[in-house]
Amino acid sequence: MKLLVTGGAGFIGSNFVHHVLKTTDHSVVVLDALTYAGNRASLDGLPDDRFELVVGDITDAVLVDRLTGEADAVVHYAAESHNDNSLHDPRPFLDTNIVGTYTLIEAARKHGTRFHHISTDEVYGDLELDDPDRFTEQTPYNPSSPYSSTKAGSDLLVRAWVRSFGLRATISNCSNNYGPYQHVEKFIPRQITNVIDGVRPKLYGAGQNVRDWIHASDHSSAVLTILEQGRIGETYLIGADGEEDNRSVVETILEAMGQPKDAYDHVTDRAGHDLRYAIDSTKLRTELGWRPAYGDFRAGLADTITWYREHEDWWRAQKAATEARYQQQGQA
Ligand code: NAD
Ligand code: DAU
C-alpha cells in the first residue's frame, strides 16, 4: 500500500512512519506543516525509495486532494495536540483539528480512499480516581478542553462521513503516549530534560491526576493492525493498562536519573485539569488480537530517559522557547 500519513513529523506520527517502514512493504508519503511541533530530524535515515516528506498544510484543499488521490490509505495524525496551548490560544486547534480533518475526509470521500482517524481518550472527559469503570467504545463524549473538544468534533465529522457518504473509515482513541521524539512541552520529556538541565521537575497542582501510559511503538502497532484488519465504521480504543499518577511518574524519573525523589516543585494547576483517564482495550485485543509489547512502564520510561540523554541535539533547540512559554503561563 501507499500510505499518506498526516502529521508524520510529529511525535506519534514519526514513530508510526518508522514502524511501518521497518515492519511492512508499504511506502509512505508524510504531509506535515512543520509547525513548532514538527521536526524533520524525526524522519532522518528513512529509505528514499519508500519515503517522501511533503511540507504542507492539511487545510490546503488542492494539495490534500492530489495527495489523497495518489494514496491507497490516509492515516491522519496531524493535529494541534497540547492542552496547555489550547487554553491560551484555541484558534489553531479549530483550524487544524476541525477544518483540517474536514478537508481530508472530503478528499477521501471523493477518491474512495481508505481513511484511519487518530484520536484520543480525552474525548470521553475524565473519571473519578476510584471509578471501577474505564473508558470503552460506548462511553459518551464529554470533552473538557479546547483541544479535546476539537478532537471530539473531528471524530464526529468522521462518523458522519461514514454514515452519510460511505467513507471507508476507522477511528482509534488512544491514551497518553511516551517514547522517543516527543516534544519537550509534554509532561515526561519536560521533566527528563529539566533534570538533565539541573532544573527541578514541575508538577501541576497536587500531582494526583492519573494518566494511562502506552509506549508510542505499541500505539503504532495497534494503528497498523486496525488499518489492515479493522472493520469499516468501527472505533477501537487503544491502551496498555498503564495507569500512573503524575507524582509517581515524576518520582520515578528523579530516582532513575539519580536525584532525590522529592526534588520537584508544585506549580499552578492547569485550568479544567482532567483527573483520570483509563482505557479498556478489550475490543481491540479480542477482535483483532493486538497486544502491547511494552508490559512494564518503568522499563519503557528508562529507555525514554536514555533516548533523551543520547539525543540532546534533537531537543535542545526547542527547550528554551518551551520553558519561556511556561514561564509566561505561570507554570515554570
Ligand atoms: P505532535 O504535536 O507531536 O505532532 C503533530 C504534528 O502535526 C506535527 O508534526 C505538526 O507539524 C503537524 N501539524 C500540525 N498542524 C498541521 C497542519 N495544519 N497541517 C499539517 N501538519 C500539521 O502530536 P502527537 O502527540 O504526535 O499527536 C498526534 C496525533 O495523535 C494527534 O491527532 C493527537 O490528537 C493524537 N493522540 C496523541 C496522544 C499523545 O499522548 N500525544 C494520545 C492519543 C492521541
Ligand atoms: O490522553 C491522551 C492525550 O495525552 C493526548 O490526546 C494529548 O495530545 C497529549 O498531549 C496528552 O494530553 P495530557 O494533557 O494528558 O498530556 P501532558 O503531557 O500535557 O500532561 C500529562 C499530565 O501531566 C497532565 O495531568 C498534566 C501534567 N503535567 C504536565 C506538564 C507539561 C504536569 O504535572 N507538569 C507539566 O509540566
What's the whole-number mean pLDDT along residues 115-122?
99
For residue 85, how far is its CA from the centre of ligand 1 (angstroms)? 13
By DSSP bridging, strand 114-120 and strand 202-204 are unpaired
pLDDT for position 65: 98
Residue with the smallest CA separation from ligand 2 atom 10 is 82
Q: Is 247 close to ligand 2, i.e. is its CB under 6 Å away? A: no
Going by alpha carbons, the residue nearest to atom 4 of ligand 2 is: 176
Question: pLDDT digits over 129-168, tens only?
Answer: 999 999 999 999 999 999 999 999 999 999 999 999 999 9
Atom number of ligand 1 nearest to Cα 186? 41
pLDDT at position 125, please? Answer: 98
Question: What is the Cα–Cα distance from 297 to 244, expressed in whole angstroms?
Answer: 9
Q: 247 and 203 in contact (C-beta within 8 Å)?
A: yes
- Residue 277 CA: nearest ligand 2 atom is 1
Q: Is the pLDDT confidence value at 227 over 90?
A: yes
**Which pLDDT score, from 0 to 100, does residue 209 have?**
98
Model pLDDT, residue 22: 98
Quick one: pLDDT at residue 330? Answer: 84
Q: Pick the residue whose CA is nearest to atom 20 on ligand 2.
A: 187
Q: Please report how many Cα atoms fall inside a 13 Å half-sphere around the Cα of residue 20, on the Cβ side.
A: 27
What are the residue boundaries of the structural domains of the chain, listed by start? 2-178+214-238
**What pLDDT is recorded for position 214?**
98
| Residue 207 grid coordinates | 500531582
Please provide the average confidence, as pLDDT, over all residues in the chain. 98
Whether the pLDDT of residue 304 is over 90: the answer is yes
Ligand 1 atom at minimum distance from 78 CA? 7
Q: What is the DSSP string of 190-219?
A: HHHHHHHTT---EEETTS--EEE-EEHHHH
Please report, for residues 59, 183, 193, 321, the alpha-carbon distance to residue 179 in angstroms, rounded to integers and kept in the order given: 28, 10, 13, 21
Atom of ligand 1 nearest to the CA of 34: 11
Neighbours of 47 (CB within 10 A): 10
Q: What is the mean pLDDT of residues 39-60?
A: 98
Q: What share of the chain is helix, strand, coil (3-state, %, to 5)?
A: 45, 15, 40
| CA gap 251, 257 in Å, rounded | 10
Determine if ligand 2 sits within 6 Å of the CB of residue 187: yes
- What is the interface pTM, i.e. ipTM, of the complex? 0.99
Q: Which CATH class is domain 2-178+214-238?
A: alpha beta
Q: Report which of 159, 181, 180 is spatially closest to residue 170, judged by C-alpha positions.
A: 159
Is 83 near ligand 1, meaning CB less than 6 Å away? Answer: no
Residue from 77, 93, 244, 314 to probe ligand 1 pocket by mutation (most atoms less than 8 Å from CB): 77
Would you state the pLDDT for residue 32? Answer: 99
Q: What is the pLDDT of residues 162-190, one digit of tens each?
A: 999 999 999 999 999 999 999 999 999 99
Q: How far is the CA of 215 from the centre of ligand 2 (A)?
A: 14
Ligand that comes closest to the CA of residue 327: 2
Catalytic positions, please?
121-122, 147
CB 200 within 8 A of CB 194: yes
Residue 214 β-bridge partners: 177
Q: Which ligand is nearest to the CA of 119?
A: 1
Residue 117 confidence (pLDDT) above 90:
yes
Cα(187) to centroid(ligand 2), Å? 5
Mean pLDDT of 287-313: 97
Mean pLDDT calculated for residue range 273-295: 97
Distance 177 CA to ligand 2 centre (A): 10
pLDDT above 90: percentage of residues in the chain? 99
Q: For residue 295, what pLDDT is reported?
A: 86
